[in-house]
Amino acid sequence: MQTRTTPGAMLTAMREKPPLVQCITNYVAMNVAANVLLAAGASPAMVHAAEEAGEFAGIANALTVNIGTLSPQWIDGMQAAAKAANSAGKPWVLDPVAHYATGFRRQAVADLLALKPTIIRGNASEIIALAGGESRGQGVDSRDPVEQAEGTARWLAERQQAVVAVTGAVDFVTDGEQAVRITGGSALMPQVTALGCSLTCLVGAFAASVPEDIFGATVAALATFAIAGEDAALGAAGPGSFAWRFLDALNALDAETLDARARISAV
C-alpha cells in the first residue's frame, strides 16, 4: 500500500488528537454514527441547519454529507457547509445514499458533486449509478457486487479529482491512479442499518487526522471497520447483538492488531 504510514498509526493519530467531525447525516444514522465515532475515538457533531452549518464547518476538522433523509432546508445546510469546508481547506466526504431513486436526490447529488467532495463513499449500486450506469439498488440497499463498480469508481475518481470508496463484501478504494481492495467485515453488517453512513463519518475522522494522505486515511477507516466487524461477528447471535458488539469491538481495536490483521491488496 502506498501510504506514508499504516492504518494502525493513523488510528493512533486520531485517538491522540480526536478530530471534531461535522456529520450532516440522516435521521436513521445520527445516533448510530455518533456512537461509532465516539467508540473509534473521534468527536462527532451533528450540525445541519442552513443558519449555522457553514459557520460550524469553519470550526470542524472535517465534514461529512449524507443525503439519506433529504429535505430542501437540509440541502441549503449541506451546500453552505461544503463551501465553507472548501474555503477552509478541510476535507469533506459525500455519501450519495440512494441518489438514483428520485429526481430530487439526483439533483441534490449533482449539485454536491459540483462542490468537489474530497472523498465519495457509497455502496456498489450507488457508485455504478453515479456514472449513469444501470444499478440494481433497491432504495438504500445495494444489490450489485463491488467488483462491478470498480471501473466506475476509477472513472469517477479521475473526473472528480477525489478519492472514491465502494463498500460491500470486498471494499475498493481508488484515487484514479492507485487502487486497493480491502477484505474482512461480516455479512451481518448490511443487516444493521446505517453502518455505511457511520463509516462515511469515520472516513471523515481519519481524513481530518491525516489530511496529507486522503487515500491512505480512507483505506485505514475501511480496514478499521473490516476488523471490528470480524471481531463483532464472533459470538453475535444476529444483527441485534452484532450492533452493540461492533461498538465494543471498534473501541477495543488497537493499532497493532489493526496492522497485523488488515487485509489490503493493491489492484
Ligand X SMILES: Nc1ncnc2c1ncn2[C@@H]1O[C@H](COP(=O)(O)OP(=O)(O)OP(=O)(O)O)[C@@H](O)[C@H]1O
Contact set with Mg ion (CB under 5 A): 97, 196
- Return the residue of 142, 152, 160, 174 that touches ligand X, per CB under 6 A: 142
Q: Tell me which stretch binds ligand Cc1ncsc1CCO (CB under 6 A): 22-30, 40-48, 181-189, 210-218.
A: 22-30
Q: Please give the Cα distance from 158 to 180 (Å, whole number).
A: 15
Going by C-alpha positions, the residue among 106, 103, 142 that lies closest to residue 122 is 142
Q: Please give the Cα distance from 36 to 101 (Å, whole number).
A: 27
Which 167-196 residues touch ligand Cc1ncsc1CCO, going by CB under 6 A? 193-194
Which 80-109 residues touch ligand X, going by CB under 6 A? 97
Q: Please give the Cα distance from 114 to 123 (Å, whole number).
A: 20
What is the distance of C-alpha 164 from the center of its chain?
A: 10
Q: Closest distance between Mg ion and the C-beta of residue 226, in Å?
A: 16
Selection from Mg ion, ligand Cc1ncsc1CCO, ligand X, none that 62 binds (CB < 5 to 8 A by kind) is: none
Which 185-204 residues touch ligand X, going by CB under 6 A? 185-187, 189-190, 193-197, 199
14 labelled ligand-binding: no
Answer for the pair 62, 24: CB distance below 8 angstroms, yes or no: no
Which 121-140 residues touch ligand X, going by CB under 6 A? 123, 140
| Residues 225-264: x where in contact with ligand X by CB under 6 A, - otherwise, as a string | xx--x-----------------------------------
Strand order in the sheet with 20-24: 43-45, 20-24, 62-66, 92-95, 119-123, 163-167, 170-174, 179-183, 263-266
Answer for the pair 264, 223: CB distance below 8 angstroms, yes or no: yes
Q: Please give the Cα distance from 38 to 257 (Å, whole number).
A: 19
- Return the residue of 25, 167, 174, 209 that touches ligand X, per CB under 6 A: 167
Q: Please give the Cα distance from 234 to 145 (Å, whole number).
A: 25
Q: Tell me which stretch binds ligand Cc1ncsc1CCO (CB under 6 A): 21-29, 71-79, 109-117, 208-216.
A: 21-29
> Of 140 and 210, which has the nearer Cβ to Mg ion?
140
Residues lying near ligand Cc1ncsc1CCO in the complex (CB under 6 A): 26, 28-29, 68-69, 97, 140, 193-194, 197
